Structure 1
Amino acid sequence: MTSTAARPGTGMGRPIAPAVSSGDRPCKTVSKPFEAFYESADQLRARVACRRCPVLTDCLRASLDADESLYAWGIFGGLTPEQRRALRVEEVLGNVADLAVARILARGQWGYRLRAMLELGRTYEEMRTCLEREFRVKASTVTVRVAVWWLGGSGRVLPRPDTADGRRVPQRLREDHGELLLKLQGMDLRQRDIAAYLEVQERQVQYCLARLNREIRQAAQTAVAVQTVGLAA
């Protein structure tokens, strides 16, 4: 799908197409392509069209390799902007998806099995483990994640909380995954990218990091105060 350097509807920006061969691209024939690929309420049509595109993997790779500002909105390579941001974070962490394998997993019997796991609320890592253990299929977690997205689904990065766990998402994030949040922050990742990677709301990440950073400052101040008292004694 053709991109634009500015947000759709602003009247700015020059159309820029991913450097892939045209072939029989469904995005060239879909009716009302602007609404389908850019309007949230109508993007299901675009994602369905992408699934049968012969250059799906090339389109996604091209959009990831290009300047992010060129593909900040709309469906490209069958993924939403949030999913593409999450995939960029995965690559920063050293996790590169095998897009050819992901496409196989998003079809036929493998797609059916992934959908069944989705209904059970499995995390992407649990799906990967299940594929390897039960079907001897080896695929990285990020590869499974892309396959699930191409199926139109959304899995889980963080484990499902115990039924007796009454904590809200921000509290669980801070208490159970604070180390991961601080690691991602330390890599100079934007909070919206961290939220996309974890598949949670950006405001939840903002809240958690604010609390964690405040606790770190308070701990440092306490340590300095204790050291000062010790020297004075």
Structure 2
Amino acid sequence: MSTRPDPTRRPSTIAVSTREATHWEDEAACRSIGGDAFFVESKKGMQQARDVCVKCPVLVKCLRDRQAKDDKSYQWGVGGGLSAVQRRVLVMEELLGNRPDLDTARLLASPQWMYRVRNLSSARWSLDGIVDGLREDGLDVTTVTVRVAVWWLGGEGSRMGRGRSWRRQLHDDHVGTITELRAKGARLSDIALYLGVPEVNGSRAISDLLLRVAAELEMAA
């Protein structure tokens, strides 16, 4: 990914050596493209940037480098084929102990598997459904690995399923995850993004849910 200086950016606490950065950046597909192309907010602009990234031979190295340089509370631009929001979600995954196998995700986003992943996305929609389908094909994959592949292919990668409102699903399926992330210091907005619900309304709904859970525990004590 091409980078440009940001005067509002906080200094990174993790740095990649100049030699290592230069080594992979020399092979990057974006090396002849202006950095502004990767710091866009429009859906079309981000898709164009992602299209460059997904064809890049050093996509995995770029994402690892971008994650290392991201401040945990501040991300900006498309890097390693993922938007800033998607990289924030990966921070939540790591809080839960989930680390993607990026090499496997790269394989799933390649011509060899991309059509299968897209077909499963259309037929089963949920991440868990896609994982189940790929395991039926004989692939040992995790949900977070598939999530990255789906993102690289332009999908949503939401944790929400079909058939019920997302508010209902928060209450029925995700209380434990929400409670764990909150206990580990995750912001409500990042929990909402992790689950794939609207950031503002989702944050409010999660806050209300946590209050109800706390009240129920207090009454049961």
Query: Does residue 177 in structure 1 map to residue 180 in structure 2?
Result: no
2:202 is aligned to 205
Check the 8 A contact 2:124/2:130 in 1, yes or no.
no
- SS in structure 2 opposite 1:40? coil
2:145 is aligned to 143
> Which of these two proteins has the greater Rg computed from alpha carbons?
1
Query: What is the aligned length?
Result: 212
Identity of aligned residues (%): 35
1:61 is aligned to 64
Structure 1 portions without partners, runs of 5+: 225-233
2:155 is aligned to 153
1:78 is aligned to 81
Measured against aligned partners, the alpha-carbon deviations of 1:179-221 in whole angstroms (never above 9, x if no partner) come to 3222221121112221221111122332223322332454466
- SS in structure 2 opposite 1:44? helix
1:47 Cα deviation after fit? 0.6
- SS in structure 1 opposite 2:197? coil
2:85 and 2:190 mapped to 1: Cα distance? 8
After TM superposition, the score normalised by the length of structure 1 is 0.79
2:192 and 2:138 mapped to 1: Cα distance? 32
Query: Does residue 214 in structure 1 map to residue 217 in structure 2?
Result: no
Measured against aligned partners, the alpha-carbon deviations of 1:86-122 in whole angstroms (never above 9, x if no partner) come to 1111112111111111111101131001111122242
1:212 aligned partner, one-letter code: L
- SS in structure 2 opposite 1:142? helix
Query: Does residue 38 in structure 1 map to residue 39 in structure 2?
Result: yes
1:29 Cα deviation after fit? 1.5
1:84 aligned partner, one-letter code: R
1:217 and 1:198 mapped to 2: Cα distance? 21
Structure 2 portions without partners, runs of 5+: none
Check the 8 A contact 1:106/1:147 in 2, yes or no.
yes
- SS in structure 2 opposite 1:76? coil
1:222 Cα deviation after fit? 4.7
2:55 and 2:74 mapped to 1: Cα distance? 21
1:108 and 1:206 mapped to 2: Cα distance? 37
- SS in structure 1 opposite 2:30? helix
1:84 Cα deviation after fit? 0.6
2:175 and 2:188 mapped to 1: Cα distance? 14
Check the 8 A contact 2:4/2:35 in 1, yes or no.
no
Query: Does residue 100 in structure 1 map to residue 69 in structure 2?
Result: no
1:124 is aligned to 127
1:231 is aligned to none
CA RMSD of aligned residues (A): 2.7
Q: Which moved more, 1:13-22 or 1:38-47?
A: 13-22
1:204 and 1:50 mapped to 2: Cα distance? 31
1:228 is aligned to none
